[in-house]
């Protein structure tokens, strides 16, 4: 029962992030990440922290309203590693005017102050 409650809480964090992205709320999206020490890996690079990750999203996805596109996470798999740690792997699909993206997220979730956050996020985009 304890594990299911934590998995449900993690799924809620991911759903809230997805909703924030889809309304163009990058700070709301970032609420799902550990602050300030998230590690974000994408395009063969490591971002250093929460602010660098936010800056990355704003630089790459902001612009005209709706330019961030519509994001959907699917096939979410969660493995509890410890009472305060879980591994999450999911597919993602981003549909946007500048070009669609699809791939896989691998995330290390940590429970901090009673709340689940992403401590490590690795994005692997499918090249087309």
DSSP 90-102: EEEEEE-TT--EE
Q: In order of start, what are the domains of the chain with their CATH numbers? A: 2-125 (3.10.450.50)
* Paired strand residues for 85: 82, 110
Per-residue pLDDT, 86? 98
Q: Give the pLDDT mean for 62-81.
A: 93
Residues contacting residue 98 through CB under 8 Å, at least 6 positions apart: 67, 69
The three-point CA angle 114-88-62 to 5° equals 90
User: Which pLDDT band holds residue 1 (cuts at 50, 70, 90)?
Assistant: very low
Question: Residue 2 pLDDT more than 80?
Answer: no
pLDDT, one tens digit per residue, over 5-55 is 999 999 999 999 999 999 999 999 999 999 999 998 988 889 878 998 899
Q: What is the DSSP letter of 49?
A: S
User: Which pLDDT band holds residue 98 (cuts at 50, 70, 90)?
Assistant: confident
Regarding pTM above 0.75, the answer is: yes
The percent of residues above 70 in pLDDT, for the chain, comes to 96
């Amino acid at each position: 029962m304890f594990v299911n409650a934590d998995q449900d809480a993690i799924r809620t964090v991911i759903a809230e992030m997805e909703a924030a992205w889809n309304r163009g709320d990058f700070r709301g999206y970032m609420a799902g990440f550990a602050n300030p020490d998230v590690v974000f890996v994408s395009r063969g690079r490591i971002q250093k922290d929460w602010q660098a990750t936010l800056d990355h999203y704003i630089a790459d996805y902001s612009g005209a309203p709706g330019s961030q596109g519509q994001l959907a996470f699917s096939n979410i798999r969660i493995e509890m590693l410890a009472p305060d740690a879980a591994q999450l792997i999911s597919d993602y699909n981003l549909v946007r005017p500048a070009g669609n993206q699809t791939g896989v997220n691998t995330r290390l979730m940590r429970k901090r102050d009673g709340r689940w956050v992403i401590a490590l996020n690795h994005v692997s985009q499918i090249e087309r």
